[in-house]
Amino acid sequence: MDAVLLVVAAVWGAVTGLLIPRAAYRFAVEPEEPWRTACPAGHPLAGPVRGWLGPPRCAPCAEPGAPATPAAETPVRSEEAAAGPSATATAPEADLSPTAAATAPQATPSPTAATPEAAPDVGQEAAPDTAREVAPRPTAATPDVGREAAPDTAREAAPRPTAAPALHPTTSTPATIPTPATAPVYAPRLLAPVVTAVVCVALAAATGARPELAAWLALTPVAVLLAVVDRRVHRLPDPLTLPLAAAAVLLLGGAALLPGAAGSWTSGLLGGLALGGFYFLLFLINPNGMGFGDVKLALALGVALGWYGWAVLFVGGFAGFLFGAAYGLGLVLLRGAGRKTGIPFGPFMITGALAGLLLGALAA
């Protein structure tokens, strides 16, 4: 039974954790900005619940590139696209000019290979008459001697300038189409599912098959989402903190009605008021050091910790301050942070509450 419970908790944590990255990406905005509705490339986020649920990749960005260019067609190179239509239209003629053919092995020199500014090539004057007869005569009326000296068959095979629109720089190439390797990803992709699964397994192992386990498993994904958002933008959104507190009250209230519950719903309510009031007092004393989002998060954490009694409430609340202080000290020693350096306190509050819940569940 215990093994099955742990497997169920791990699967629940992994599945719900996969939904955290997209939600964290949408919530991770500055206070004055609306929630994100599009991926970094500008594609609208589609999916259930108005796009809040879905994978951490944008589906249009993750589509494979366009089909490869057929071998019979000449692919557009980046330097040709940068040069414009006129440059790409003359590229085939330049490749078929006698000057390019002169570099090939055993090529017959052409008297028209020299430019108008260049001196006459003595070697070309000494070429056999048969070679001179094979090469076409240049057109005297055309100043560009090198281009007009191309053989007639090559000129007929070369694409006409009217084919320039097919080589226009606006033509999409496989290099400009996003591929799965370059598609925007809303990090973290793996950390959130792994952390959620590990926390759910730890709570299941400590709580066992008691009614309050359902409440812990339901609240864990939202708590991890809050930690991720606060870590990114130092913000705890109201659409997460307030419903989390209400859900804690309702879920633990239902667990208290079932046989085998190891906590008290009344002490949970009082614990939420006590911890929330304490954080509210800290907010009034130093508004710059304690955000009001932390106060609303303390309501939910206090209800959960108070379920197991006042001792667990004290341990979980104190552990949050201890973890936050240790992190701040590490910033001071390793990165030279000052006293006014802001840190996201929500993750440490949640981690401290987790430690208190594990101790309370094991002692119950």
Q: Quick check: is 51 in a domain?
A: no
Q: Quick check: is 29 in a domain?
A: no
Residue 292, CA distances (Å) to 58, 84, 302 in order: 33, 57, 15
pLDDT score for 128: 41
Same domain, 202 and 333: yes
Q: Which of 129, 156, 176 is the last residue of a domain?
A: 176
Same domain, 278 and 331: yes
Structural domain for 148, as ranges: 78-101+108-114+121-176
Q: Quick check: is 30 in a domain?
A: no
> 119-128, 215-224, 229-238: lowest mean pLDDT where?
119-128
Same domain, 96 and 158: yes
Q: Quick check: is 218 in a domain?
A: yes
More confident position, 114 or 269: 269
Same domain, 148 and 222: no
Q: Quick check: is 254 in a domain?
A: yes
Separation CA 90–CA 92 (nearest Å): 6
Same domain, 135 and 203: no
Same domain, 143 and 271: no
Contact 196, 13 (CB under 8 A): yes
More confident position, 139 or 35: 35
Separation CA 360–CA 307 (nearest Å): 9
Q: Quick check: is 62 in a domain?
A: no
Which residue type does 21 have? P
Same domain, 354 and 237: yes
Question: How many domains does one find in the chain?
Answer: 2
Same domain, 249 and 166: no
Using the predicted structure, report yes or no on whether residue 362 has a pLDDT greater than 50. yes
Same domain, 248 and 334: yes
Contact 74, 81 (CB under 8 A): no
Using the predicted structure, report yes or no on whether residue 304 has a pLDDT greater than 50. yes
Q: H helices then E strands: how many in the chain?
A: 17, 0
Phi-psi label, residue 106: left if phi above 0, alpha if psi -120 to 50, beta otherwise: left
Q: Which of 155, 176, 197 is the last residue of a domain?
A: 176
- Give the other-Cβ count within 10 Å of 300's Cβ: 29
Same domain, 164 and 194: no
Same domain, 235 and 332: yes
**Residue 309 CA from chain centroid, whole number:** 41
More confident position, 26 or 105: 26
Same domain, 167 and 93: yes
Contact 296, 335 (CB under 8 A): no
Both tokens of 356, joined, read: 């208190």
